[in-house]
């Protein structure tokens, strides 16, 4: 899917495509209230709308991403409610049948907080890649309707078992429903030597496994 993407907005890549594929294979989208957390260009939210979701809400902290998602919906004649804000804050008190998320998860950041400005905000997940993941896993259950589904994509380098444990602690049943090997993109290539030195990846490793986790 070709999309409008201003500078600084995360471009749809293999993780976006994998999440969309898994979402399309489920029967949960038809007639559903859907939330896309960290929407970027709106690609995942638009896929949900095309699959027959009754109402799709997209959230992103970036003003440019919000504008991009609105523009991409407009040119396709699809209805999205696009809100600006941090994770679930713009939808406080609301519940959804399906929550989709492709959050920043690249490991190797130096700070204990994700960047508040700049392009790194679209992909930097902190030292272990889990700063946004763990917040989503802790907050999502309060926004899931009974029987609702959460689908999250991230790199296995960020810790698959850690994600499953976090979701189960939040009272959800969780399992990996898709895996795919993906060559490193520019960001991971720029961090490869540092990740090798920390033992996060093996010597010469230039690919990672992407996973989609489903929790209900």
pLDDT band at 117 (very low <50, low <70, confident <90, very high): low
What does the mean pLDDT of the chain come to?
91
In the chain, what are the domain boundaries?
A: 14-215
pLDDT in tens, 56-115: 999 999 999 999 999 999 999 999 999 999 999 999 999 999 999 999 988 865 555 555
Classify 14-215 by CATH class.
Answer: alpha beta
Q: Provide CB contacts within 8 A for 116, sequence distance 6+.
A: none
The pair of three-digit structure tokens given for residue 200, joined into one six-digit string: 């996060």
What order of strands is seen across the sheet that includes strand 96-101?
81-84, 55-60, 33-37, 96-101, 144-155, 207-215, 174-183
- The count of other CB atoms within 10 Å of the CB of residue 22 is 17
pLDDT in tens, 162-185: 999 999 999 999 999 999 998 988
């Amino acid at each position: 899917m070709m999309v409008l993407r201003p500078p600084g907005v995360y471009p749809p890549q293999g993780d976006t495509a994998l999440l969309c594929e898994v979402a399309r294979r489920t029967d949960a989208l038809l007639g559903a209230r859907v939330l896309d957390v960290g929407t970027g260009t709106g690609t995942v939210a638009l896929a949900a709308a095309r699959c027959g979701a009754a109402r799709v809400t997209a959230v992103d902290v970036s003003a440019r991403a919000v504008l991009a998602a609105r523009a991409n919906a407009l040119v396709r004649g699809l209805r999205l409610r696009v809100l600006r804000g941090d994770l679930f804050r713009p939808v406080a008190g609301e519940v959804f049948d399906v929550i989709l998320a492709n959050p920043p998860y690249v490991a190797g950041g130096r700070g204990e907080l994700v960047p508040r400005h700049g392009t790194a905000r679209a992909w930097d997940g902190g030292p272990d890649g889990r700063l946004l993941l763990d917040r989503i896993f802790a907050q999502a259950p309060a926004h899931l309707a009974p029987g609702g589904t959460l689908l999250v994509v991230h790199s296995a380098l960020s810790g698959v078992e850690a994600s499953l444990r976090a979701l189960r602690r939040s009272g959800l049943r969780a399992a990996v429903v898709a895996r795919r090997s993906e060559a490193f993109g520019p960001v991971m290539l720029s961090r490869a030597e540092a990740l090798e030195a920390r033992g996060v990846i093996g010597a010469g490793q230039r690919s990672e496994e992407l996973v989609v986790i489903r929790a209900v």
